[in-house]
Amino acid sequence: MNQSVAELDTALGTHDLSVWYGDTQAVKHITLDIPRNRVVAFIGPSGCGKSTLLRCFNRMNDLIPTARVEGEVNFRGQNLYADDVDPVEVRRRIGMVFQKPNPFPKSIYENVAFGLRINGFKGDLKEQVERSLRAAAIWDEVKDRLQDSALGLSGGQQQRLCIARALAVEPEILLMDEPASALDPIATSRIEDLIEDLKKDYTIVIVTHNMQQAARVSDFTAFLYIGELIEYGDTERLFTNPSEDRTEQYITGRFG
Amino acid sequence: MKGQEDRFEPRLAQRRRNGKIFQAVCLSSIAFSVAMLVILLADVVRDGAAWLSFDFVSSFPSRIPARAGIKPAILGSLWVMLLVAALSFPFGVGAAIYLEEYAPRGRLRRLIQTNIANLAGVPSIVYGILGLAIFVRFFGFGRSILAGAATLSLLVLPVVIIAAQEAIRAVPSSLREAAYGVGATRWQVVRHHVLPVAMPGILTGMILSLSRAIGETAPVILVGALAFVAFTPSGPMDLFTVLPIQIFNWTARPQAEFHGLAAAAIIVLLIVLLLMNATAILLRNYYQSRRGD
């Protein structure tokens, strides 16, 4: 069932997006659309700019003093890099899960409740924490020890807690920067199953080093190389019949 | 294993011996330091223990050694420490937070940073002169506890700032990203995540700084602490003396009795110092346990 990005409703799109770190250009004039309620994977060798591109989507690059962004990231008809856009609001709408699980050194409950408190959540805090933990498929493992430190959880559990933390503030898009690269195969497969479940309610963009993972979890795949978008399209087609030589060389393991 | 003999020369015995020598050197360094401390303490205790009594800590100084006490000096030192902590903590931690979390990276920040490091090495007497000019005269604090405390706060600020900066810098950036990622503002990130994690390190800096401030003599003499105080200070604007000045004053006298009194006052000073450090360590442990590691 090969499908085209153009036929689908767009959740977020970039237009001629470039990023510099000092004098080095990490992302070069990338234009692509992320379809709603789909999983898009960014693949490519180390240093190809896939993480940098991902971090543009919720203005995480703002935190790096030397980073400079040009071009547009459009979300709900608004350029996220326009002057009147507050990155704090962007990050609530577009959540992020990081490479290494990074729970707060607080209780499991507090990890999820923090985002709700700071954003002035008006509903039932406990209920929302439970719903988020359930959505991240970790509720059954932690429901009896919500007040224990999150640092006592295993790596895989910590990462699912981080996903719950991101989901709690009800984002529309979930960005995942190599979310399973620090985890063992069993924990990885749980995260992958979870991504499959979350697709129903969220648009997911995942950066991964692992091509099998991209093939397993994503609907669309973008291949980046030295800051450029080489190829972007239906995952199955891209892996079985890439149209670019460099894509084929990369996915068949001839470089990278 | 065979055939390798000529390609490697492990010299295991020599490598082990080197390790042992290094360990012995380290051990003797610590042994030397501890021995010095023990000799010092033993000397002070031998001279001063006989003079220690409840009367000694609860009496005013006197011309007659048997009646002399250090009540005003203890109270003066406590007042000064309290005010130094109250002044240097907010200013020091505030400056450190600004430099680490807010200040744009650039030449100006580097210049400020270098100057703070330099200020940490300025002789304390210079701070005394500064305190005399600014706090005693210009602000009109007079020869008060407040003037002394403000001067000592200036003296320890560089150390407080640098220690706090180190502690803040040691907070992993992944933690900041996690908080920003759920839509926290910079203030919320600092308040809820950076400060609690950095607090043990910040408090360690405070302990060291207060320990230095309580033993300082020269700048306090300059801002006008008195050697003979026959009343108890009741507020920050009162005249005052502190323990090191009382000690300095007694050691300068010819009579042997006063040397004994000085030794006894040193013991009290050390006890006050220990109590202060213990409090700070308890606070630090509290924050560490709350951090969950």
pLDDT score of B293: 47
**From CA B79, how far away is CA B238, in angstroms rounded?**
10
Mean pLDDT in residue range A177-199: 92
Residue A255 has pLDDT above 80, yes or no: no
d(CA B265, CA B278): 20
Average pLDDT, chain A: 92
Taking a C-beta distance cutoff of 8 angstroms, is the pair B248, B26 a contact?
Answer: no
Q: Are A67 and A232 in contact (CB under 8 A)?
A: no
CB contact under 8 A, A92 and B183: yes
| A108-119: pLDDT as tens digits | 999 999 999 999
Cross-chain Cβ contact A105/B175 below 8 Å: yes
Tell me the mean pLDDT in the region B46-74: 82
Alpha-carbon distance B203 to nearest alpha carbon in chain A (angstroms): 19
Share of chain A above pLDDT 70, in %: 99
Residues 171-230 of chain B with CB under 8 A from chain A are 172, 174-185, 188, 192-193, 197
Cβ separation A96–B181 shorter than 8 A: yes
Using pLDDT thresholds of 50, 70 and 90, give the confidence band for residue B3. Answer: low
Report how far residue A131's alpha carbon sits from residue A117's, in angstroms, rounded to the nearest whole number. 16
Out of B183-197, B260-274, B276-290, give the one with best mean pLDDT: B183-197
| Pure H helices in A69-151 | 87-93, 108-118, 125-135, 139-142
User: Could you give the 3-state DSSP secondary structure of residue A202?
Assistant: coil
Asked whether the predicted pLDDT for residue B274 surpasses 80, the reply is: yes
Query: What pLDDT is recorded for position A256?
Result: 62
Arithmetic mean of pLDDT, B245-270: 88
Give how far B174 is from chain A: nearest CA, Å.
6
Which is more confidently placed, B254 or A254? B254
Of A58, A102, A151, the CB nearest to B178: A102
How far does the CA of residue B190 sit from the closest CA of chain A (Å)? 13
Query: What is the radius of gyration, based on Cα positions, of chain A?
Result: 18
Q: How many CB pairs under 8 A join A and B?
A: 73
Cα dihedral A161→A167→A168→A171 (10° resolution):
150
- Beta carbons of A192 and A163 less than 8 angstroms apart: no
Is the pLDDT at B5 greater than 80, yes or no?
no
B235 touches chain A (CB under 8 A): no
What's at B6, amino acid-wise? D
Q: Which residues of B touch A167 (CB under 8 A)?
A: none
**What SS3 state is found at B287?**
helix
Is A151's CB within 8 Å of B292's CB?
yes
Distance from the B191 Cα atom to the nearest Cα atom in chain A, whole angstroms: 11
- What is the least distance, in Å, from the CA of A41 to any CA of chain B? 20
**Tally of residues, chain A:** 256
Task: Write the pLDDT tens digit of every residue in A59-99.
Answer: 999 888 889 999 999 999 899 999 999 999 999 999 999 99
Give the list of residues 6+ apart from residue B281 with CB closer than 8 angstroms, or none. B207
Using a pLDDT cut of 90, give the percent of chain A over it: 87
Residues of B within 8 A of A168 (CB-CB) are 182
A65·B175 Cβ contact <8 A: no
**Planar angle of CA B183, B103, B193, nearest 5 degrees:** 40
Average pLDDT, chain B: 88
pLDDT tens by residue, B78-135: 889 999 999 999 999 999 999 999 988 889 999 999 999 999 889 999 999 999 999 9
Angle at B172 between CA B201 and CA B86, to 5 degrees: 30
Check CB contact under 8 Å for B292 and A106. yes
DSSP A219: S
Residue of A107, A118, A121, A147 to mutate, interface with B, max B Cβ within 10 Å? A118
DSSP 3-state of B1: coil
Query: What pLDDT is attached to residue B18?
Result: 95
Please give the residue of chain B at the shortest CA–CA distance from A88: B183
pTM (2 decimals)? 0.83
Q: Do A165 and B104 make contact, defined as CB atoms within 8 angstroms?
A: no
pLDDT tens-digit map of A224-249: 999 999 999 999 999 999 999 999 99
Whether residues B175 and A168 touch (CB distance < 8 A) is answered with: no
What confidence score (pLDDT) does residue A96 get?
A: 95
Mutate to test the interface with A, among B182, B188, B189 (most CBs of A within 10 A): B182
Q: pLDDT digit string (tens) for B134-192?
A: 998 999 888 888 999 999 999 999 999 999 999 999 999 999 999 999 999 999 999 99
In this complex, the residue of A106, A151, A165 whose CB is nearest that of residue B182 is: A165
3-state secondary structure (DSSP) of residue A177:
strand
Residue B179 has what pLDDT? 95
Cα–Cα distance measured from residue A202 to residue B143, given in angstroms and rounded to the nearest whole number: 68
Looking at residue B140, its pLDDT comes to 87
Bridge partners of A203? A173
Q: What is the DSSP letter of B60?
A: -
Interface residues from chain A to B (CB-CB < 8 Å):
58, 60, 63, 65, 88-89, 91-92, 95-96, 98, 100, 102-107, 114-115, 118-119, 149-152, 162, 165-166, 168-169
**Contact partners, residue B35, CB within 8 Å, separation at least 6:** none
Category of A22 on φ-ψ map: left (φ > 0), alpha (ψ -120 to 50) or beta: left
pLDDT at B288 over 80: no
Average pLDDT over residues B16-34: 96
Judging contacts by C-beta atoms under 8 Å, the chain B residues touching residue A103 are 178
CA-to-CA distance for A172 and A141, rounded, in angstroms? 26
**Which residues neighbour B163 within 8 Å (Cβ) at sequence distance 6 or greater?**
B201, B202, B204, B205, B206, B208, B209
Contact indicator for A232, A221 with CB cutoff of 8 Å: yes
Model pLDDT, residue A175: 96
Q: Do A105 and B183 touch (CB under 8 A)?
A: no
Q: For chain A, say whether B291 makes contact (Cβ under 8 Å).
A: yes
* Closest chain A residue to the Cα of B187, Cα to Cα: A118
Q: Do B177 and A106 touch (CB under 8 A)?
A: no
Between B50 and B95, the more confident residue is B95
Determine the longest span between alpha carbons in chain A, in angstroms: 53
Query: What ipTM does the predicted assembly reach?
Result: 0.91
Instruction: Tell if the CB–CB gap between B184 and A162 is shorter than 8 Å.
Output: no
How far does A99 lie from chain B, in Å, by closest CA?
Answer: 9
